[in-house]
Amino acid sequence: MIIGLIGVCLSGALADGPRRGIDHIKVVAVPEDGSVLEIIDRLTKLSGYAFLYEDNLKDELHKRIRIENGKSLQEVLNSISQQTSLEFRVVNKNIIVRKKAGLSGESAESRQIKKVSGKVTSKLDGSAMPGVNVVLKGSQTGASTDVSGRYTIEVTGSNPVLVFSYIGFSTEEVAVGTRSTIDLAMTESAETLQEAVVTALGIKREERSLGYSVGTVAGKDITHVVQENVLSSLAGKVSGVQISQTGGAGSSVSMVIRGAKSLSTDNQPLFVIDGVPINNSLSNVGQVAGNGNTVDYGNAISDINPEDVESISVLKGPSAAALYGTRAGNGVVLITTKSGAKNKRMTVTVTSNTVFDNPYKFLPMETKYAVGNLPYQPNAQGVIVDQSGNPYTIDESQSQWAGPELDKGYKAIQWNSPTDENGNRIPTPLVSHPNNVKNFVRTGITSTNGVSIANGTEKMDYRLSYSNMNNHGIIPNSDLFKNSLALNSSVKASNKLRISTSIDLSQQRSDNRPASGNGTNPLEAAYNVGPNNDIRDLRNYWVPGQEGLQQLSVAQGSYNNPWFMAYEVNNSFVRNRVFGNLKADWQITPEFSLSGTYALDTYNEKRETKITNSYTKETHGGAYGLMNIDQYERNVSFLATYRKELNDFNLTFSVGGNDRYTTSSNNNSSSKSGSGLVIPNLFTVANIAPANLNYSSYFGQRGIRSLYGLANIGYKDKIYLDLTARNDWSSTLPKGANSYFYPSASLSMLLNELIPMTNRISLLKLRAGVAQVGNDAAPYSLYNTLGNAGVWGGTIIRLTKSGSILLPTLKPELSTSYEGGVDLNVLHNRLRFAGTYYVQENRNQILPSTIDGASGFSTKNINAGLLVSRGIELSLGGTPIDKNGWRWDLNFNFTRNRTIIKELAPGIDKYTFWTAGKGGAWTYVGETVGDMYDAQLVTVTDKTSPYYGYPILSSDGQWNSLSATSARNKIGNYNPNFLLGAQTNISYKGFTLNMNFDWRAGGSFLSQTYRYYESDFHSKRYLESIVSPNGLTGDALAAYLKANADKYIIPHGNFFPQVGGQTAATGGFSWAGDNGTSNGNFIPGVTAQYDDKGNITGYTENLGGPGTVYFGYNDGYAWAFNKAALFDASFVKLREISLSHDLPRAWIRGLGIQNASLGVYSRNIILWTAAKIAIDPEQAFQPTTSPTGSTGSFMQGVERYNVTPWVIPVGFKLNVTF
Amino acid sequence: MKNTTRNYTAVLVLVLFLVSCKDITELNKNTNGVEPQTVNPDLILPTVLTETGKTFLNLGFGDASGIVQHTQGDAFNAGRDYYDWGQSNSWISPSSSSGDFYGIQRNNKLLYDRSVTLGYKFHQAISLIVKSMNFGLVADLWGDAPYSMANQGETGTPETISPAYDSQESIYAGIMADLETANTLLATNPASLETVSSGIDVIYDGDPTKWRKLANTLLLRYYMRLSNKKPDVAKAGIEKIVNNPTQYPIILETADDATMNYPGVTGGVDDWPGNTYFDASGQGYRRLKPCQTLVSALQKLNDPRLAVWAKKVETPLAIDPSLPDTTDKISNGVRYFGVKAPALLQTQKIAPVNTDPNYVGLPPGIQSPSTYNANPVVGQASYNPHVSYLNEIYTQPSTTKSPLLKARLASAAEVQFILAEAALKGMAVGDAQMYYNAGVRASLTTWGVGSQYATYIANPGVAFVGTVKQVITQKWIASWTAATEAWFDWRRTGYPEMKAGPYAKRPELPVRFYYSIDEQRYNTANTTAAMGNLAQTQYSQADGANSAWSKPWLLQGSGSPSNFPY
């Protein structure tokens, strides 16, 4: 009853199936003696035709026969037919094997002839499926579908059953019953889908033959839910891969495979689209002009239109990627775009998506106190008055929110208070406005519309697609637009020569990307609006009468109007990009083929910044800047392949070469920070006074020439060995020492075929690989030139020697990886498991290490050292339900990685990633990448003291700290302990529910946002954390605190106790500077007495008794300790949820529509965070810019004002195929 | 088969094509910058001079002026007022408040090497003088420091990547030797020296005789610095210089002062720190207020320089017992209190109110200085109508707009006061009173009030009484915006007598900077060893050895400062 499918096409030029008739295929190199099964297996590989047969033919198939090489396939099949009771019939790409007529043993009497017809479509996209085999089970009767997927077949027998089969799809049996029309939507088969995997150099391979782990994602799985950046769609779907969005929509998306392996680079993998290496990096943070105007322009991989993607292969380790050389150390993402080859008639597909991003969660700010430093007191009329009894003016230029209490019926003079007839300002009620940021942001709308036309014939195929994306961000006046036009086509120039090309033209642009970090960031400005102000009062953001010159601000010169920041700081960009290739495949002989490819990726990006006058840091006419970035990469390559079958061995040898050339240039003209423009708001370069003009240009180039070879050796389709070798010659290494060689080997063994096993095990595979990848340096890494230190006084040139030490004798980096794994599929592939363990050793990394500045330099390039990454990747997939039209698929991916610095250069004992406050992230030799350190609190260390563990305070009542280095005080690690992704897909009768969960467990991040907002008393959390004295004072208070020392005295976690309150009513103490308001607090601990030599001789309590040092409650934040703002980074996100429905055919047929589906979806919903502070831990990235402002990157594990509100998106999707 | 052969040939040709191209490493020639090997030293010299000038001013107008109580801050003031630097005073970071001494020296070394290659004696001498100034400051601020092994990181050995520290003593010795060398180099007939391009020398505009005077002035400065620790060496050195003016010309006239102008064209690069042109919020200017210690000293002496540096208080306070007790009202620009005005009493908890009708300084190191003197607009924005601001000239970005805005590296006044002190300490240098008077005159001239010299020098307290205390007090006044010298003078002599404010980290003034977190992080072993050479005092406390109150070599056993003689 089961129809076996023997063999699928192998690789290379034959991969897409047979293109010649069987009478034109010459049978060569097939063993002339063997069982039918063995021989037709060989013939499959030779010809690309798949043989289909029923398992009741087993006896016949095991019969030994003889054939002759050199004949045509037709002749060979005829010969087999003569030697057996079998006959062969070609149906499209398949050869159906069956018993000769008259031998089926069926009686003539039972034959009642009836016509059945119908249409076969693909469940995937609803497209018609031409060439599907339709066979009456147990007979020789067969038919195949026409170009519109229609078939007609005559059936006989008492209980006829039709068998539908097509390569790559699950074979289905349908009982005819009394019906005369049978339509069928065929499902792609998971099993066969897994088998054809795109590997390095675009070579398609059976997955079972691979000795390394490759993650694959089908195109359909990234379009259930449309994301602006195609990388976002991969989150949680592939084990070993961590995807993180660094900011709000349109920001860069980081993809790290198997953990950070390089300390100094962004660790992004190489992206190869249809053989074209694509420039992508995380260094997209720039400051074109303006003071504190740091903008993330998004990474260039977002230029890809997700609808064009056929499949994505993630080559995780060097074993898989070794052939890509230099850039493969971080893994390779191979993206294959859709072609028209599958579409036997012209198919038009239209997709339309619209998603609404509804912001719903904001930083929990305090709303109890107005802006100010001291609360002051209301008079009898409820007017807050100063010491003189005059109405108090809320001083909005204060950064702290520790002023008078709100919502108590009090009044004070506020920034927009009216004046009376005498010109005196009238106090207005102090009311809290808790929804300021909510009232500032808007619902974001993203709509993506696309259309594609595809068709394929014997001679040629094409697919042309156009896509358009419009995004209006949740920050007012922010947007993003994308247009892309892609053509994918191949032409069969002759029987042996095929020429193909793919070209992608795209434009991405924005009128305004909002700035991130601190400075012009509109969200920062919005969060800075005090709780006593209604942000909507700032909506008309000009001072009346001074439109264009002076923004309306609660505190002119100190604080910016968020709407002004949104509308009058404009960071626009436009990126025009072309990438594509031209490829020729020449099948010279059946064994020997040659291909050549020319691939190009180039883009121009123009960034322009216009800042209108009166941004607090640009008050001299505004700011203007123009930057032009050009990137160009060209690769010319060839690959010669020779295939040979020798007895039980299946051999493929290839040699190839590649010539890569890249250039990069950058031109920038802008006004210097704070220097301004001659005529306000005239945005031209000519309007910048010469002394205020910042200008720079850069040109860089690099070339790498490579030769490589690979060998695939298969033994009886049971054991596979892959060997590769590559040599590169790079332009960036020292002359005469710029050549480096690296090999790889991997082995795959199919134990289930080697050892007899229960047939419940469909696949048991062991795999192992070892590989090396060499890497060169960035251009110009050998010698430094002098840089510009800024012209003095507009005339005096000041050159400066770079603070980084370069190495003129650089050696290439060498990364060696070892991986082993097992794949196990059981219960007819309904349960699938894969596990991989890997070790990767990176030697001789070229990285700038921060060194002691007393050496004269701040960094020195290291070209030594050893980094070791170890990790586990597990994936478990299953189909718990597959019956009665219900299908439920589940998939889990587990990832854990740790990277250890084993060695660095002599004299260097740690590598520093970033520093902030008094701590930062650095890793000592022998320890783990991601560790974070902080200043250590000074406490009583004498265990016999009753004050053991108490903080030792200075005479000003504040904490003391020891430096993070001398104390070696580790406080966390920013990498997660593990990642767990889960996908579930439930389908029933045209309805599909798809969900993708992503859980990241463990890890910490430093929130500079909280650090600043807590020290300024904006954060509700901090306000609530102050320990209440519970009405106690003096010794009673001290006793109470001591009784609860672990809770109220000894700092723990991110809690540094402070005792008191904001007012007398909430526990505040009277103190020297309180202006009569009792807002005094103290830090519980002890002060110490010292002798002349500095030794401790005793302690004095600072616990509320006599001598306790008090200070204003807003001065008590533990600013010196990053730990006070360190949070658990664990979270769970629902990356995707979509419900789609295929419209019943009956409804749409009349419209000429083949298939239509409707969907509703959402994405990136934060379900849970451990920190509970309304910051997305995934966005714990802080952008940095280099001093030149041209490029910047991200510090990981720390954020500052990266506080995009959380959103609940609601999206709609329509898909129509004509 | 024939086809196959042809194809193999094609592959071979392709391979040959690939490998036979021109040398690919030629692509790696960096055309984006000037080669250090060929650079004209005049393109480096301004970098070295301007960065040095800025560093001296930033300290002398910044944290050091807080230590010596010339100024105090009333917001973001923990460093200036309380000495709570948290080990962030780094000598290596361009962004630190203390300076990037080794970064300057990196360029200075290139300047020196290029000058030697080209045989440029004048450039060599400038380079040595600037090196001495910078390392002199490092040794004075921190104590032991990398010196002989410093700035050689390019050799790449572990000893140069993490350089060992030299003792403070040997750094002084090295500096003095370099200054002698500079003096000798410049002793050549000036006409035979190479010229420095016009405008490039932002200190002396290419005048070698003035540079020579600066070299010897610095020598004099360091000899005096050693006078407690090594009195004999100091005496011999100072006498050697003073008694041989031909061989050791020094700065005796204000025209020879080593100063640098601020062009004020680009914010953050060449503008006066804290100006309100580039900092439109004005907070940088407002947060810095004259310290009451300086204000009362100047008032006591009826010093005309006070009006140059400080603004009169906007709204003076007055206590009028004739008014009802709880009065608090503003009338005729004065805020009047009755004797029991509640706000007044509240504020008195911090410090007594200051009812001076003209100048009110911030008392040193008080808690919440923003609340001082019954300020009605408490907070970080630093508005306070009852405390004097700095004079308006300090809101300007450039010397062009305000001619007094200069970095002051060494001056005739300093020299005259050094000589006066030397004379009073019994060195054979001449008449103390003559030097003292000349010092006072030079400083008044510098600050544009030279015409009032005759009146001022006759004032009680100014008129010469022949004490070191008086000399150093005048020197302390004269070092306005160049306060590092005043700090080191206080450390040596204990004058003027100052106590840390009540809310300062410790009850005494600090005597050094902490070795910074960065230095500890990147040069752990050597920094730890250097900490071992510091003498802890009772004020080091929780800091341990690396404290601003631990004594470096210069102070150990020298009996200074007198407040904590250990």
Kindly report, residue by residue over B83-140, the tens digit of the pLDDT. 988 777 777 766 666 788 999 999 999 999 999 999 999 999 999 999 999 999 999 9
B199 touches chain A (CB under 8 A): yes
Contacts of A164 (CB under 8 A, 6+ apart): A120, A132, A133, A134, A171, A172, A173, A174, A184, A186
Whether A122 has a pLDDT exceeding 90, the answer reads no
Element (H, E) at B443: helix B432-446
Residue with tokens 């005159």: B441
Cβ distance A387 to B50 less than 8 Å, yes or no, reads no
Cβ distance B39 to A799 less than 8 Å, yes or no, reads yes
A1205 preceded by a cis bond (ω within 30 of 0): no
DSSP symbol at A29: S
* ipTM attached to this prediction: 0.91
Comparing CB atoms, the residue among B105, B335, B379 nearest residue A395 is B379
pLDDT-wise least confident of A558-572, A953-967, B290-304: A953-967
Whether A1016 has a pLDDT exceeding 70, the answer reads yes
Give mean pLDDT, residues A981-1004: 91
Q: pLDDT tens digits for A276-317? A: 888 777 777 888 888 889 888 888 888 888 888 888 888 887
Cβ distance A699 to B32 less than 8 Å, yes or no, reads yes
Whole-number pLDDT of residue B10: 55
Comparing CB atoms, the residue among B107, B154, B528 nearest residue A800 is B107
**Phi and psi angles of residue B196, each rounded to the nearest 5 degrees, phi first:** -105, 130
H-type alpha helices, A614-764 = 751-754
- Cα–Cα separations (whole angstroms), residue B152 to B102, B114, B300: 11, 16, 51
Whole-number pLDDT of residue A20: 60
Whole-number pLDDT of residue A196: 65
> CA-CA distance, B8 to A592, in Å (whole number)?
10
DSSP symbol at A100: P
Distance from CA of B184 to the nearest CA of A (A): 27
- Cα–Cα separations (whole angstroms), residue A580 to A278, A452, A497: 10, 18, 20
- Cα–Cα separations (whole angstroms), residue B110 to A805, B29, B42, B43: 14, 22, 11, 11
Whether A1188 has a pLDDT exceeding 50, the answer reads no
All residues of chain A having their beta carbon less than 8 Å from the beta carbon of residue B87 are: 918, 963
Whole-number pLDDT of residue A106: 44
Whether A891 has a pLDDT exceeding 70, the answer reads yes
B87 touches chain A (CB under 8 A): yes
3-state secondary structure of A758: coil
Give mean pLDDT, residues A689-706: 90
Within 10 A of A1187 (CB to CB), how many other CB atoms are there?
Answer: 11
Whole-number pLDDT of residue B96: 64
> CA-CA distance, A601 to A503, in Å (whole number)?
10
* Nearest alpha-carbon partner for A916 in A516, A522, A1196: A1196
B38 touches chain A (CB under 8 A): no
* Nearest alpha-carbon partner for B339 in B319, B360, B359: B319
Q: pLDDT tens digits for B165-195? A: 999 999 999 999 999 999 999 998 878 899 9
Closest chain A residue to B4, measured at CA = A588
> CA-CA distance, A265 to A853, in Å (whole number)?
22
DSSP symbol at A1096: E
B324 touches chain A (CB under 8 A): no
**Would you say the C-alpha torsion A99, A105, A109, A112 has a positive or negative sign?**
negative
Distance from CA of B451 to the nearest CA of A (A): 32
Separation of CA B374 from chain center: 33
Give mean pLDDT, residues A1198-1218: 90
> CA-CA distance, A187 to A220, in Å (whole number)?
13
Beta bridge partners of A822: A766, A835
* Tokens of residue A203, six digits: 């070579």
pLDDT band at B538 (very low <50, low <70, confident <90, very high): confident
B153 touches chain A (CB under 8 A): yes
Distance from CA of A854 to the nearest CA of B (A): 5
Residue with tokens 């290291």: A862
Beta strands in A13-85 (DSSP E): 33-35, 50-54, 64-66
B86 touches chain A (CB under 8 A): yes
3-state secondary structure of A717: coil
Whether A105 has a pLDDT exceeding 70, the answer reads no
DSSP string, A149-197: SEEEEEE-SSS-EEEEE-TTB--EEEE-TT-SB--EEEPBPHHHHHHEE
Q: pLDDT tens digits for B6-64? A: 555 555 555 555 554 568 888 988 888 888 999 999 999 999 999 999 999 999 998 89
Comparing CB atoms, the residue among B154, B163, B543 nearest residue A854 is B163
Do A1126 and A1178 meet the contact criterion of CB atoms below 8 Å apart?
A: no
Whether A11 has a pLDDT exceeding 50, the answer reads no
Instruction: Label the pairing between strands A270-273 and A332-337.
Output: parallel
Q: pLDDT tens digits for A581-596? A: 999 999 898 889 999 9
Whether B549 has a pLDDT exceeding 70, the answer reads yes
Whether A12 has a pLDDT exceeding 50, the answer reads no
> CA-CA distance, A644 to A649, in Å (whole number)?
8
Whole-number pLDDT of residue B18: 52
Cβ distance A963 to B107 less than 8 Å, yes or no, reads no
Cβ distance A952 to B280 less than 8 Å, yes or no, reads no
Contacts of A772 (CB under 8 A, 6+ apart): A318, A322, A742, A743, A744, A814, A815, A816, A817
pLDDT-wise least confident of A50-64, A97-111, A158-172, A1072-1086: A97-111
pLDDT band at A1051 (very low <50, low <70, confident <90, very high): very high
Q: Best interface-test mutation with A: which of B44, B47, B147, B337 has the largest number of A CBs within 10 A?
A: B47
B156 touches chain A (CB under 8 A): yes
> CA-CA distance, A462 to A500, in Å (whole number)?
9
Q: pLDDT tens digits for A1076-1126? A: 778 889 999 999 988 877 788 999 999 999 889 998 888 888 988 999 999
The one-letter amino acid code at A816 reads T
The one-letter amino acid code at B461 reads G
Contacts of A804 (CB under 8 A, 6+ apart): A784, A848, A857, A858, A859, A860, A861
Counting Cα atoms < 13 Å in the Cβ hemisphere of B260 gives 28
Whether B81 has a pLDDT exceeding 50, the answer reads yes
Whether B563 has a pLDDT exceeding 70, the answer reads no
SS (H, E, C) A928-951: ECCEEECCEECECCCCCCCCCCCE
All residues of chain B having their beta carbon less than 8 Å from the beta carbon of residue A803 are: 103, 106
Whether A980 has a pLDDT exceeding 70, the answer reads yes
Comparing CB atoms, the residue among B199, B347, B504 nearest residue A796 is B199
Within 10 A of B259 (CB to CB), how many other CB atoms are there?
Answer: 20
**Cα angle value A936/A942/A945 (rounded, 5°):** 120
> CA-CA distance, B516 to B85, in Å (whole number)?
9
Asked whether the whole model's pTM tops 0.80, one would answer: yes
Residue with tokens 């380079």: B127
Whether A6 has a pLDDT exceeding 70, the answer reads no
- Cα–Cα separations (whole angstroms), residue B534 to A297, A1093, B281, B320: 50, 11, 42, 53
Whether B144 has a pLDDT exceeding 70, the answer reads yes
Closest chain B residue to A911, measured at CA = B522
Whole-number pLDDT of residue A13: 31
Q: pLDDT tens digits for A736-757? A: 899 999 999 999 998 888 888 7
> CA-CA distance, B283 to A1206, in Å (whole number)?
35
Give mean pLDDT, residues B345-360: 78
Do B314 and B410 meet the contact criterion of CB atoms below 8 Å apart?
A: no
Whole-number pLDDT of residue A775: 85
Distance from CA of A54 to the nearest CA of B (A): 41
B102 touches chain A (CB under 8 A): yes
pLDDT band at B344 (very low <50, low <70, confident <90, very high): low
Whether A1000 has a pLDDT exceeding 70, the answer reads yes
Length in residues, chain A: 1218
Element (H, E) at B508: none
A882 vs B515, higher pLDDT: B515
Element (H, E) at A293: none
Do A1028 and A1066 meet the contact criterion of CB atoms below 8 Å apart?
A: yes
